Amino acid sequence: MDRKRTVVATAALIAGALALTACSTNRTEAGGASSGSSCDTSKGTLVVGFVAPLSGGLSALGLGMKNSADLAVNEANQQCKVPGYKLALQAEDDQSTAQIAGQAATKLASDPNVVGVIGTLNSSTAQSVAPILAQKKIVEISPANTNPSLTQGDNAASPARPNATYFRVATTDAVQGPFAAQYLVGTAGKKKIAVIDDGKTYGAGLAAAFAAEAQKRGATIVASEKVGEKDTDFSGVISKIRPLSPDAVYYGGEYPVAGPLSKQLADAGLNIPLMGGDGIVDDTYASLGGREGDLATSVGAPAEQLPSAKAFIDAYNAAGYKEPFSTYGALTYDATNVLIAGVGKGVGTGTFGDGSRDAVLQAVQSTSMDGATGKISFDQFGDTTSKVLTIYQVKGGKFAPVESGEFKAS
Amino acid sequence: MLSTFLSQIANGLVLGSLIALIALGYTMVYGIITLINFAHGEIFMVGAYGGLASMTYLLPTVITQRWYFALPIVLVVGALVSILVAVAMERFAYRPLRNAPRLAPLITALGVSVALQEAVRVFYPGATAAIPFPDLFIQGTLIIPIGDGVPIRYTGILLIVLSLVLAFGLERFVERTRMGRAMRATSQDRDVARLMGINPDRVIVLTFAIGGALAGIAGVLYGSYLNNINIDMGFQNGIFAFTAAVLGGIGNIRGAVIGGLVIGLVKALGGQYLPGGTAYDYVWIFVVLIIVLVFRPQGFFGETERVRA
C-alpha cells in the first residue's frame, strides 16, 4: 500500500472516530439564581443535579425543563424548605446522547453534595444515567421518561425494578401507546396504519405498544419502518408505504423527525394524519413541517387547563425565562419539588451526608403531595400512580388539547 | 410496483445529485493539494445558513414572495458566504501547513469542521435546533402519471437539473479554459507549474472558491428541498460526499458526480428492496464502497497511482 492510500484510509478511520465523539463536549451552567432570602444557610450548599438536552434538536424541551427545575429550586430557597442549607441547581447537557448523559451522571455522582438528580428527557439516556446514580444511592426523578423497562425491567411478564433510586412522574408508554391506539382506531376510525419509529428506546417501545393495541382493536398495520434519528430525507420510507395506501401514520420518536416527516408525507401526495407520542408535542413541531390535524398523546393533563398548575405558570412567567416551559415544564417542577421535599424530610434538622441518602430515598418513595400536575405518589416500581393522558391535535400551528382521560382496556 | 420503483429512482437521483454537488468540492481540493478537506461539509452547512439569513433578514417580502427573484439571489448569497468561509479557511488554516506532513492539515480540517459547527450554533439565532427553511421554487409536487403515480417535488427536479448543469460546466471549465489548464498543471506538479509562470496560491484559492460556491448552492437547495436545516447537516452529508468522491475516484470530476448518483440510488433502492428495509439503507452504501474498493482501489474513474519523483 502506498503512502497516498494510507492517508486516505487513515482519514476514513478518523472520520469514523469523529462521528462517535464529535459531540462529546460538555457544557455546564451553574444554575440557581442567588435569591435574596433570609433563610439560615449556615450548613452550606446542597446541589440538585439536572440532566437533559440543553442543545441540539430536543433543546426546546430540555430548556423548558431546566427553567422549571430552576424555578422550583429558587422557590425552595425562598421558603427555607431544607433547613440550614441553600440549594443550587447544577444543569448538565446530555445532548440526547446516552454516552454524554453517562458522563454527566458520573460527574454528578462524584460530588458528595448532590442530593438527587432531575432528568432525563430521553428514555435512552436514562438507561445509562439511572444505574450510575443507583450505585451511589442518589435519587433520580424523571419528568419525561416513558419507556416501561426503566421501572419494570426488560421482561414485561415478570416486572422487576432495576434501580431502587429511579422514579418518574410521567406515565409510561405501556399506557401511552395503547391510549393512542384507542383514539386513532376507536374514535378517529383509522383502519390501515403505517407505523414508523426511530429505533431508539423510547420510539421503538412506544410504536410497538401502539401497534399491538391497534391490531387488537381491529386495525391493520400495513407497514413497520425505521428511520434514523438524524435523518432529514424520508422519501425512501414514504415511497415504500405509499402503494400500501395507509389512512394514518403512527410515528414513535420525537418532533425533529416527526415534523419534516409529516410535511414530506403530504408532499408525496399522502394527505393522511400523522400521530405520535409525547416526544412530538412541542411548539416547533408545526414550524418544522407538522400539519394541521396531526395528532399526539402526552402524559398528564395539559398544564394550561389544570387549576393546580396556575400558580406554577404564573410564577414561571413572572420569573421571565427566555424559553417557554414546554411539554414537561409542570412535570419537571413537580419532580423537583418531590425531590426537595424528600431531602427536607430525609435530612430534617440534621446534616446531609452519605448516611442521609437512605432516608431521602424512603421519603421520596412514600411521597404523597399535590403538585402542579395533580396528586403525586409512586408505586412499588417507582412509577407514578397517575395514568392520565391527553390527546392533542395541531390547530392553528400549535398542539391543542382535545381530550384527557385514562386508558381503558377493551 | 413500477411506480414504487420509479419513485425510489427519483428519490435516489435527488439525494445523489445533492451529494454530487458537495463531492465536487472534496474531489477538486484533493486533486490540487491532496488534502481531504473534512471541513467541506461545514462549508455546505454555512451556505444554507447564509442563504437563510438573506431570506430572513435582508430581502424585502416583495422579493421573498416571488421565487423567480428570491431563488437566484439566495443561491448567490449562499454561494458567496460559502466562498468567503472556504477561502478564509484555506488562507488561515491550510496555507500555513502547506509544507507540513500530510496528517497535519487533515487534523486541522477536522478542527475547522468542529469550529464552524460551533460558531453557527452559538452565533446564528435559533441554531441550537433545526430551523425551518422556505421553499424557494415552485411549491408542490409533480405527480408523473405512471401506475399509481410517481411523485417528485418541483424543488427536487430543480436540484437534479441544476447539479448536472453545474457539474458539466465545471468539467468544461477545467478542460477548456486557461485557468482550468493552470489547475490541472498545479495538480500534476506544483513546482513545475510554478516554473511555467503559474501562481499556485492563486490556483489553490480558486479551487477552494469553486468548491465553496458549489457547496453553498447545494446547501441552499438542500434547505429548499427539505424545508429545514440544522448544524449537523454538513457532517452527515459531508461523509456521504467524501464516500462519493472516493467511490468515483478521488480527484476526478466525473467520478464525483457518478459516485454521488450511485450512492443516492443505492440508498433509495436498498431501502426498498434489500433485507432490513430503510433501517439499513446506509449500510448498503458502505457495502458498495467496500466492494468497489476491493476490486478497483482507485475508484470508478481514478487514475492508477503514479510514482512521483
pLDDT of residue A1: 44
pLDDT in tens, A333-383: 999 999 999 999 988 888 898 888 999 999 999 999 999 998 899 999 999
The alpha-carbon gap from A352 to the nearest alpha carbon of chain B, in Å, equals 38
Contact residues on chain B for A264, CB-CB shorter than 8 A: 226
Q: How would you write chain B as a 3-class SS string? A: CHHHHHHHHHHHHHHHHHHHHHHHHHHHHHHHHCCCCCCHHHHHHHHHHHHHHHHHHHCCHHHHCCHHHHHHHHHHHHHHHHHHHHHHHHHHHHHHHCCCCCHHHHHHHHHHHHHHHHHHHHHCCCCCCCEECCCCCCCCEEEECCCCCEEEEHHHHHHHHHHHHHHHHHHHHHHHCHHHHHHHHHHHCHHHHHHCCCCHHHHHHHHHHHHHHHHHHHHHHHHHHHCEECCCHHHHHHHHHHHHHHHHCCCCHHHHHHHHHHHHHHHHHHHHHCCCHHHHHHHHHHHHHHHHHHHCCCCCCCCCCCCCC
Residues within 8 A of A (CB atoms), B 267-306 only: 267-268, 271-272, 277-279, 281-282, 297, 305
CB pairs under 8 A between A and B: 131
Could you tell me the pLDDT band of residue A34, with boundaries at 50, 70 and 90? very low
Q: What is the mean pLDDT of residues A65-90?
A: 94
Q: How confident is the model at residue A14 (pLDDT cuts 50, 70, 90)?
A: low
Q: At what angle do helices B2-33 and B233-248 cross, to 10 degrees?
A: 80
Q: In this predicted model, what pLDDT tens digit does every residue of A227-263 receive, in sequence order?
A: 988 888 999 999 999 999 999 999 999 999 999 999 9
Band the pLDDT of A30: cuts 50, 70, 90.
very low
Predicted confidence (pLDDT) per residue in A281-314, tens digit: 988 899 999 999 999 999 888 888 888 999 999 9
Q: pTM of the prediction?
A: 0.82
| Chain B residues closer than 8 Å to A255 by CB | none
The ranges of chain B with pLDDT < 50 are 307-309
> Could B129 and A284 be called an inter-chain contact, meaning their C-beta atoms sit closer than 8 Å?
yes
Q: Which domains can be identified in chain A, with CATH numbers?
A: 26-171+305-378 (3.40.50.2300), 173-299+389-406 (3.40.50.2300)
CB B22 within 8 A of CB B40: yes
- Between the two ends of chain A, the Cα-to-Cα distance in Å is 66
> Above 60 in pLDDT, residue A102?
yes
pLDDT of res. A22: 41
pLDDT, tens digit, for every residue of A104-139? 999 999 999 999 999 899 999 999 999 999 999 999
For the cut 80, the answer to whether the pLDDT of residue A2 exceeds it is: no
Residues in chain A with CB shorter than 8 Å from the CB of B281 are: 236
- The average confidence (pLDDT) of chain A is 88
Report CB contact under 8 Å: A240, B271: yes
d(CA B281, CA B260): 15
Q: Contact B8/A236, CB-based, under 8 Å?
A: yes
- SS3 for A125? helix
Provide the chain B residues 216-245 that lie in CB contact (below 8 A) with chain A: 225-228, 230, 232-233, 235-236, 239, 242
Task: Give mean pLDDT, residues A156-178.
Answer: 90
pLDDT band of A12, cuts 50, 70, 90: low
- pLDDT score of A304: 84
The B residues from 3 to 32 touching A (CB cutoff 8 Å) are 3-4, 7-8, 10-11, 14-15
Q: Which residues, numbered 117 to 156 in chain B, qualify as contacts with chain A under a Cβ-Cβ cut-off of 8 Å?
A: 121, 128-130, 132, 140-141, 143, 148-149, 151, 153
Please report residues of A whose CB lies closer than 8 A to that of B36: 7-8, 11
As a whole number of Å, the end-to-end CA separation of chain B is 56
Q: How far apart are CA B212 and CA A145, in angstroms?
A: 43
Give the residue on B whose Cα is nearest the Cα of A10.
Answer: B103
Most A CBs within 10 Å, among B228, B250, B269, B303, to test the A interface: B228
pLDDT of residue B304: 63
Per-residue pLDDT, A27: 39
- With CA atoms as reference, the chain B residue closest to A241 would be B4
Whether B226 sits inside 8 A of A260 (CB atoms) is yes
For residue B163, give how far its alpha carbon lies from the nearest alpha carbon of chain A (Å): 18
Interface with A, mutate which of B33, B128, B307 (most A CBs under 10 A): B128
CATH architecture of B2-295: Orthogonal Bundle (1.10)
A225 min Cα distance to partner chain B (Å): 7
Preferred mutation among A196, A267, A291, A322 to probe B, highest tally of B CBs within 10 A:
A267
pLDDT recorded at residue B236:
87
Whether B110 sits inside 8 A of A256 (CB atoms) is no
Q: Name the residue among B103, B129, B235 with its Cβ closest to that of A22.
A: B235
- Among A14, A60, A289, the residue with its CB nearest the CB of B129 is A60
Output the pLDDT for position A223.
Answer: 93
What pLDDT does B180 receive? 94
| pLDDT tens-place string over residues A164-174 | 999 999 999 98
Percent of chain A with pLDDT over 90: 68
ipTM of the complex as predicted: 0.86
Q: Give contacts of A227 with chain B, Cβ < 8 Å.
A: 278-279
Query: Which residues on B lie below 8 Å from A57 (Cβ)?
Result: 129-130, 230
Q: Which residues of B touch A269 (CB under 8 A)?
A: 141, 143, 149, 151
Determine, for residues B235 and A256 on separate chains, whether the beta-carbon distance falls below 8 Å.
no
